[in-house]
């Protein structure tokens, strides 16, 4: 089992004729994902190695019955791309684009309130259900079908945790990079709720970082709602206050959002917190009694 993405997912790639869009569209297809269409305004009627290109998402959806979108559109146009996919009725949108202005994402958030579309990202590596489908830029070969769900604000730390879990023979049910921007479409609690409902996810790895209060809110939710073991890790412990570290949302301000506060919240909720990235996998194995 998996959440949100499986072998029936049909993907349209917005920005498929750009170099990154084409590269990752073909990479997802090579992994086994059903990449059924691409969209680039003004280039309808073309194809990318057999993938038909349309001028709009609505045209692509009518022709291909796509139910998910992967967005590789430059930052000034990415918010419009998200809203176009939602307006066309696409159920899942994965926005890889980084650098989208916060003001644009405020418009997207308001728009999505009136649409049932789930947005993952922006500024994220995407989502993968190993052995079934991937939508994003993650290296598929390090993943293995299994029982551990992974949710993370950090792309690279996601890969590190996945590699450890794979080498331990545990595998993953679904791995989701929610992105490190201040206004993500999907948050920790959304994802944890999905894993809670998946009977084949036996444990969850949660990778957070400094800035904001998402990890503290997730900890409170876990304590009240999730009876599966959770292992956490907080990146950015050595970051000085007031300095942004990599992600737009990873900034300590006014004494809030520190690694210490987040670690304490996770621990108080009964979540095992790994002391270093190298201990994430073995901590999950111990939590599962493996």
**Residue extents of the structural domains in the chain:** 10-120, 138-287
> Does this model's pTM top 0.75?
yes
pLDDT given for residue 252 in this prediction: 47
| Active site residues per annotation | 247
CATH topology of domain 10-120: Rossmann fold (3.40.50)
Least confident range of 112-116, 136-140, 233-237: 233-237
Instruction: Name which residue leads in pLDDT, 172 or 237.
Output: 172
Neighbours of 156 (CB within 10 A): 14
For residue 235, name the pLDDT band (cuts at 50, 70, 90).
confident
For residue 238, name the pLDDT band (cuts at 50, 70, 90).
low
- Looking at the DSSP bridge assignments, the partners of residue 154 are none
Nearest in space to 280 (alpha carbons), one of 245, 243, 229, 225: 229
Question: Does 244 score more than 70 pLDDT?
Answer: no
3-state helix, strand, coil in the chain (%, to 5): 35, 25, 40
Half-sphere exposure of 118 (CA within 13 A, CB side): 17
Reduce the DSSP state of residue 86 to 3 states and report it. Answer: helix
Q: Average of pLDDT values for 12-17?
A: 98
Nearest-angstrom CA–CA distance, 229 and 204 = 6
Q: How deeply is 256 buried, as exposed, middle or buried, from its count of CB atoms within 10 A (0-12, 13-18, 19+)?
A: middle
Long-range contacts of 284-287, Cβ-Cβ distance < 8 Å, separation of 24 or more: 284/148, 284/165, 284/168, 284/170, 284/203, 284/205, 284/229, 284/231, 285/168, 285/170, 287/203, 287/229, 287/230, 287/231
Q: Average of pLDDT values for 138-152?
A: 97
For residue 256, name the pLDDT band (cuts at 50, 70, 90).
low
Nearest-angstrom CA–CA distance, 71 and 11 = 10
Reduce the DSSP state of residue 285 to 3 states and report it. Answer: helix
Of the chain, the end-to-end C-alpha distance in Å amounts to 20
pLDDT given for residue 258 in this prediction: 84
For residue 210, name the pLDDT band (cuts at 50, 70, 90).
confident
Nearest in space to 92 (alpha carbons), one of 215, 220, 190, 213: 190
Task: Give the pair of three-digit tokens for residue 154.
Answer: 């950090």
Architecture of domain 138-287: 3-Layer(aba) Sandwich (3.40)
For residue 250, name the pLDDT band (cuts at 50, 70, 90).
very low
Digit-coded pLDDT (tens) for 54-107? 999 999 999 999 999 999 999 999 999 999 999 999 999 999 999 999 999 999
Question: Using an 8 Å Cβ cutoff, are 36 and 66 in contact?
Answer: yes
- Looking at the DSSP bridge assignments, the partners of residue 118 are 92
pLDDT given for residue 230 in this prediction: 98
Q: How many helices (H) and strands (E) does the chain have?
A: 9, 14
- Looking at the DSSP bridge assignments, the partners of residue 150 are 175, 205
Residue with tokens 């691409």: 38
The proportion of the chain whose per-residue pLDDT surpasses 70, expressed as a percent, equals 93
Question: Using an 8 Å Cβ cutoff, are 73 and 81 in contact?
Answer: yes
pLDDT given for residue 18 in this prediction: 97
């Amino acid at each position: 089992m998996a959440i949100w993405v499986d072998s029936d997912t049909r993907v349209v790639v917005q920005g498929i004729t750009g170099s990154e869009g084409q590269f990752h569209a073909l990479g997802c297809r090579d992994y086994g994902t059903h990449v059924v269409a691409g969209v680039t305004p003004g280039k309808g009627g073309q194809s990318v190695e057999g993938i038909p290109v349309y001028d709009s998402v609505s045209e692509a959806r009518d022709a291909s019955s796509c139910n998910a979108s992967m967005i590789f559109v430059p930052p000034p146009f990415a918010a419009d791309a998200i809203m176009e996919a939602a307006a066309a009725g696409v159920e899942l949108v994965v926005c890889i684009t980084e650098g989208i202005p916060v003001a644009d994402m405020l418009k997207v958030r308001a728009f999505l309130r009136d649409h049932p579309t789930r947005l993952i990202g922006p500024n994220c590596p995407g989502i993968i259900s190993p052995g079934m489908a991937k939508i994003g830029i993650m290296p598929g070969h390090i993943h293995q079908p299994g029982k551990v769900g992974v949710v993370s604000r950090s792309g690279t730390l996601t890969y590190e945790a996945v590699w450890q879990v794979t080498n331990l023979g545990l595998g993953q049910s679904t791995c989701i990079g929610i992105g490190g921007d201040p206004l993500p479409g999907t948050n920790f609690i959304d994802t944890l709720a999905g894993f809670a409902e998946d009977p084949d996810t036996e444990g969850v790895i949660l990778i957070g970082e400094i800035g904001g209060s998402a990890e503290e809110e997730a900890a409170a939710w876990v304590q009240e709602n999730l009876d599966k073991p959770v292992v956490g890790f907080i990146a950015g412990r050595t970051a000085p206050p007031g300095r942004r570290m990599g992600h737009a949302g990873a900034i300590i301000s006014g004494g809030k959002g520190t690694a210490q506060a987040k670690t304490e919240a996770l621990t108080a909720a009964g979540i095992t917190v790994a002391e270093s990235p190298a201990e994430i996998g073995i901590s999950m194995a111990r939590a599962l009694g493996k």
